[in-house]
Amino acid sequence: MAPLPPSADFWLRVALFGGAALVVGVPVGLMLWFRSPLHLGIGQVVEQPIEFDHRHHTRDDGIDCLYCHHDARRSPRAGVPSTELCMGCHAQVWNEGRETRPLRASWAADRPIRWRRVHDAPDFVFFDHRAHFEGGVGCESCHGRVDRMAHVYQTEASTMGGCLECHRDPVPHLRPEDALTRMGLSPSRARGERVADRLGGVSPPTHCTGCHR
């Protein structure tokens, strides 16, 4: 009887271990990918129709977030300022030059500026800015140090897990009302406790209809 090819079980083992590696590796790889900044879009800059520089407006000019995004106080949406609002200043300052040309064009042609979303929650998520404001959560907690961003980008993971982290233990992220729009305020449990007491307790929803309707 002829001897069997010696390579046989070598290749078989390769196949076996390779298969096992695949079975384990693919799911693990996917899980990692779905958590990677690349997939979550963290730090990715989106091209905007206007070279708008938040860093300049908030730091150099000291404009409060709410001056432009004033709906955040009274509406689920923070809102993007109307051309009119921009022109309020830019009729006087920077009323010429390349950067503000699209703005003036919009004003003249009565055609809205088409910005592009940076923080894009899925359509089945109902995020309420007012709710967070009234709950003592500031802009920074979700939007990061916008005052340091030339171009706005995401700093937090916009996953359900990311939201739940905070909804389960909001206290460290709470701020007094006057500090809601302040930047560079690191989370502090002690401060959070005080705010929570003043607000008579803060209990963000962790059930489905808190965000999904």
Partner 1 sequence: MSHDDPSWVPAASLGRRSFLGASAGTLGALAAGCDLHRPEELVPYVRRPPEVVPGVSDWYATAALRGGYAIGLLAESREGRPLKIEGHPEHPMSRGGTGPREQASVLTLYDRDRLEAPREDGTARSWAAFARSFGPRSVRPFVGRRGEGLALWLPPSSSAVLARRLAALRERYPRATIVFDPTSAPTPRWEGTRRAFGRPLDVQIDLARADRAVFLDADALVEGPAALALARDWAHRRTPGEGMLRTYAFEGAVTSTGVSADHRLPTPPGAIGRLALALLAALRDGVSPPEGVPHAEAVRAVARDLDAHRGRSAVVAGERQPAAVHALAALLNATLGNVGRTVRYRESALLEAASGAFDPSRLFDALDADAIDTLVIADANPVYAAPPSFRFAERAARATRTVACAAFANETAASADWALPSLHPLERWGLHHAHDGTPTARQPLIEPLVDGTTPEGLIARLLGEDPSPREAVAAAVAERADASLDEVLSRGFFAAADETVTPRPRFDELPSLAEEIAAEARADDALALDLRPDARVGEGEDAENAWLQELPEASTQLVWDNAALLAPAEMARLGLRDGDVVALALAGGDASVRLPVLGVTGQAEGTVVAWLGFGRRRGGRVARRVGVDVTPLRTVTGVPRVHLEATGERRDLARTQHHHRLEHDEPIYRRADLEAWRANPRLAPAGHETPPPSLHEAPDDGEPSDAARWAMAIDLSRCTGCKACVIACQAENDVPAVGKTQVALGREMHWLRIDRYLTEGDEVGFQPMLCQHCEHAPCEYVCPTNATVHSPDGLNVMAYNRCVGTRFCQNNCPYHVRRFNWFDYQRGRPAREQLVHNPDVSVRGRGVMEKCTFCVQRIRRAERYGEPGGLRTACQQACPSEAIAFGDRSDPSEPVSRWQRQPRAYSVLGELGTRPRVQYLARVDHPNPGLRERDGER
Partner 2 sequence: MENAEALLLGRPSDRELTERFVTPGARAGGWLRVGLWTCAGLTGLLVLSIAYTVLTGIGTWGDRIPIGWGFAIANFVWWIGIGHAGTFISAILLLLEQPWRSSINRIAESMTLFAVVQAGLFPLLHLGRAWFFYWLVPYPSTMEVWPQFTSPLTWDVGAITTYATISLLFWYLGLIPDLAKARDTKTGRARKVFAVFAMGWRGSARHARHLKIAQLMLAGLATPLVISVHTIVSFDFAVGVTPGWHSTVFPPYFVAGAIFSGFAMTLTLVVPLRRWLGLEAVITRRHLDLLAKLTLATSLIVAYAYVVEPFLAWLSGAHFERHMYLEVRPFGPYAFLFWLTVACNVAVPQALWLRRVRHSPWVLFALSILINVGMWVERVMLVVTSQHRDFLPSSWDVYLPSWVDTSLFLGTLGFFGLLMLLTVRHLPIIPVTEIVEMKREELPDGPAEEGA
- The site for partner 2 (CB under 8 A) is made up of 1-2, 4-5, 8-9, 11-12, 15, 27, 31, 34-35, 157, 159-162, 164
- Give the DSSP letter of residue 211: T
Interface stretch with partner 1, choices 4-12, 58-66, 92-100, 128-136 (CB under 8 A): 128-136
Query: Which of 112, 162 has the CB closer to partner 2?
Result: 162
Residue 103 CB neighbour total at 10 angstroms = 19
What would the DSSP string read from start to end of 51-89? ---HHIIIIIS---HHHHSGGGGTSSS-----HHHHHHH
Distance CA 189, CA 175 (A): 10
Task: In angstroms, give the least distance from the CB of 17 to partner 2.
Answer: 14
CA distance 173 to 133: 12
Q: Within its chain, how far is the Cα of 40 from the centroid?
A: 10
CB of 10 to partner 2, least distance (A): 9
Radius of gyration of the chain (CA): 25
Q: Determine if 155 is a binding residue for partner 1 (CB under 8 A).
A: no
Judged by beta carbon, residue 123 or residue 178, the one nearer partner 1 is 123
Query: Is there a contact between 58 and 146 (Cβ–Cβ < 8 Å)?
Result: yes
What are the tokens at 201? 């307790």
Question: Site map for partner 1, 3-42, x if CB under 8 A?
Answer: ---------------------------x--xx----x-x-
Q: Of residues 77, 101, 148, 189, which one binds partner 1 by CB under 8 A?
A: 77
- Contact by Cβ (8 Å): 175, 191: yes
Per CB under 8 A, 116 contacts partner 1: yes
Among 50, 63, 67, 76, binds partner 1 (CB under 8 A): 76
Contact 181, 66 (CB under 8 A): yes
Could you say whether residue 117 binds partner 1 (CB under 8 A)? Answer: yes
Contacting residues toward partner 1, per CB under 8 A: 30, 33-34, 39, 41, 46, 71, 74-77, 79-85, 106-107, 110-117, 120, 122-124, 126, 128, 130-131, 134, 207-210, 212-213
